[in-house]
Amino acid sequence: MKTKLLTLGLFAATAATIAFYPVVRQATKLIATPPTAINPITIPPVAAANQRPQIEVVFVLDTTGSMSGLIAAAKEKIWSIAGTMASAQSAPDIKMGLVAYRDRGDAYIAQTIPLSSDLDSMYAKLMDFQADGGGDGPESVNQALYDAVNKITWSPNPTTYKVIFLVGDAPPHMDYQDDVKYPVTVALAKQKGIIVNAIQCGQDSNTNADWRQVASLGQGSYFQVEQSGSAVAIATPYDKKLAELSAKWDKTRVFYGNDEEKAKQASKMAATEKLHKEASTESQARRATFNASASGKANFLGENELVDAISSGRVKLSNLPKKSLPESLQAMSPAAQEEFVGSTKKERSELESEIKILSKQRNDYLRQKVVDEGGKKDSLDAKLFGAIRKQANNKGLVYEADSAKY
């Protein structure tokens, strides 16, 4: 009887295997299908559950004499661009970098500012760039793109939205024999998962052809703006107060660490002071709005910020060497140090709450103004947001239609 049951069992298993075999073959066939058969747009990479989305963006900016209007616009709009990127449903970590370029024979060919979450320091360097040089038509676009792709340290993570915005009004020098031409560089960018967009300033036909090819090869977007940049420039009744609150908020930061870390922190603080002195009130308001977002926390706090480290429980004040503390705290008793941290935390929280309320009021005011003025669909802001919204969606970043910040 057992033998009979065993025989029947083997027969059933064999029949099931035969019936299932075509399915296995079909599954194997599907698995063996080359990756190119799968549309990467329909299957976006998924970040780890405990990892925030990542954005890395580098602006490759022509800084020759004809670009003064766009450079001025860039100095005004960097914070609103950061704010737009920060408005995704899952707040991303944001890093920005810059390659400023001119041409051979000018004061420089290309200058690179590395990718960093310290946007204050990047912005302070951007403020120093002035339009100068050029004059002979083509510029060192090839060198600038090469530096952006090869001299910037990009994340190897395939889930990171990595993007370059080439911004200029003149075509590349294709007659230089000793540089890498942009089709080769853009092909390498594609291999690294970097999207390359092209923003043309003005109407030059030669630039139009090259910029369109850059965007096509780089799987990015091409768009044209006026020589001034066509950026939305609307002052609000909230800008001055936001700038004032932001300056007070920045003064609640207290840093600790070794001598090397303190030197880095001092450099960041110097950059912050510079932008409070030299940036426009509107730009300071945009920065305050960004810093108050979840994505802006990294720029606001920097590294080794004492109050946040202690409040979060990452660090115990009693465990820190006296020398690692700021000089103002070293002379205090442990009890006084604790009291200082507590009162600073309270002040910071109150300032942050007020900034968030005013930021919302400012955003609502600007959104209505833009609607009243026809939507500003041809503005630099709208075109940048359109590209970011479309491309970042392929990395799992979702933006609402009215997420653009101004």
**pLDDT single digits (tens) 66-125:** 999 999 999 999 999 999 999 999 999 999 999 999 999 999 999 999 999 999 999 999
Query: CA-to-CA distance for 394 and 396, rounded, in angstroms?
Result: 6
pLDDT tens figures, 314-342? 999 999 999 999 999 999 999 999 999 99
Mean pLDDT of the 222-242 span: 93
Query: CA-to-CA distance for 292 and 245, rounded, in angstroms?
Result: 11
Which residue range(s) make up the domain with 201? 54-232+376-393
Q: What is the rounded average pLDDT for all residues in the chain?
A: 88
Q: Are residues 186 and 304 in the same domain?
A: no
Q: What is the pLDDT of residue 23?
A: 31
Q: Are residues 142 and 247 in the same domain?
A: no
User: What confidence tier does 311 reach under pLDDT thresholds 50, 70, 90?
Assistant: very high
Chosen domain end from 355, 370, 385: 370
Least Cα distance to 362 among 247, 241, 229 occurs for 241
Q: Please determine, for residue 32, whether its predicted confidence score (pLDDT) is greater than 60.
A: no
Long-range contacts of range 24-31, CB-CB < 8 Å, 24 or more positions apart?
none
- Give the residue with greater pLDDT, 1 vs 103: 103
Q: Are residues 116 and 243 in the same domain?
A: no
Q: Are residues 137 and 257 in the same domain?
A: no
Query: Does any domain span residue 29?
Result: no
Query: How many C-beta atoms lie closer than 10 Å to residue 177's C-beta?
Result: 4
Q: Are residues 72 and 153 in the same domain?
A: yes
Query: CA-to-CA distance for 80 and 285, rounded, in angstroms?
Result: 10
Q: What is the pLDDT of residue 135?
A: 74
pLDDT over 70 for what percent of the chain?
A: 88
DSSP code string of 238-264: THHHHHHHHHHHHTT--B---HHHHHH
SS3 403: coil
Query: CA-to-CA distance for 148 and 180, rounded, in angstroms?
Result: 12
Q: What is the pLDDT of residue 50?
A: 58
Query: CA-to-CA distance for 215 and 373, rounded, in angstroms?
Result: 30
Query: Does any domain span residue 280?
Result: yes
Query: Does any domain span residue 336?
Result: yes
Q: Are residues 199 and 306 in the same domain?
A: no
Query: CA-to-CA distance for 307 and 380, rounded, in angstroms?
Result: 38
pLDDT tens figures, 381-405? 999 999 999 999 999 999 999 899 9
CA 95 remoteness from chain centre:
4
User: What confidence tier does 60 reach under pLDDT thresholds 50, 70, 90?
Assistant: very high
Q: Please determine, for residue 9, whether its predicted confidence score (pLDDT) is greater than 90.
A: no
Mean pLDDT of the 289-315 span: 97
Mean pLDDT of the 342-365 span: 98
Q: Are residues 320 and 382 in the same domain?
A: no
* CATH number of the structural domain spanning residue 81: 3.40.50.410
Q: What is the pLDDT of residue 230?
A: 87
Say if strands 54-62 and 161-168 run parallel, antiparallel, or are unpaired: parallel
Q: Please determine, for residue 10, whether its predicted confidence score (pLDDT) is greater than 60.
A: no
Q: Please determine, for residue 39, whether its predicted confidence score (pLDDT) is greater than 90.
A: no
Q: List, edge to edge, every strand of the sheet that includes 54-62.
A: 110-116, 93-101, 54-62, 161-168, 194-201, 219-225
Q: Please determine, for residue 171, whether its predicted confidence score (pLDDT) is greater than 80.
A: yes
Q: Please determine, for residue 26, whether its predicted confidence score (pLDDT) is greater than 60.
A: no
Structure tokens belonging to residue 155: 């994340």
SS3 224: strand
Query: Does any domain span residue 10?
Result: no
Query: Does any domain span residue 316?
Result: yes
Q: Please determine, for residue 16, whether its predicted confidence score (pLDDT) is greater than 80.
A: no
Query: Does any domain span residue 331?
Result: yes
Q: Are residues 219 and 252 in the same domain?
A: no
Q: Please determine, for residue 46, whether its predicted confidence score (pLDDT) is greater than 90.
A: no
Q: Are residues 342 and 284 in the same domain?
A: yes
User: What confidence tier does 27 reach under pLDDT thresholds 50, 70, 90?
Assistant: very low
Q: Please determine, for residue 28, whether its predicted confidence score (pLDDT) is greater than 70.
A: no
Counted domains in the chain: 2
Query: CA-to-CA distance for 281 and 304, rounded, in angstroms?
Result: 28
pLDDT tens figures, 181-214? 999 999 999 999 999 999 999 999 999 999 999 9
CB 142 within 8 A of CB 326: no
Query: Does any domain span residue 160?
Result: yes
Query: How many C-beta atoms lie closer than 10 Å to residue 368's C-beta?
Result: 10
Q: Are residues 107 and 144 in the same domain?
A: yes
Q: What is the pLDDT of residue 41?
A: 36
CA atoms within 13 A on the CB side of 382: 14
Class of residue 251 by CB neighbours under 10 A (exposed 0-12, middle 13-18, buried 19+): middle
Spell out the alpha helix ranges (H) of 33-170: 68-86, 119-126, 141-150
Q: What is the pLDDT of residue 51?
A: 79
Q: What is the pLDDT of residue 13?
A: 37
Query: Does any domain span residue 133?
Result: yes
Least Cα distance to 404 among 377, 318, 243, 65 occurs for 377
Q: Are residues 116 and 167 in the same domain?
A: yes
Q: What is the pLDDT of residue 96?
A: 98
pTM of the model: 0.85
Q: Are residues 221 and 265 in the same domain?
A: no
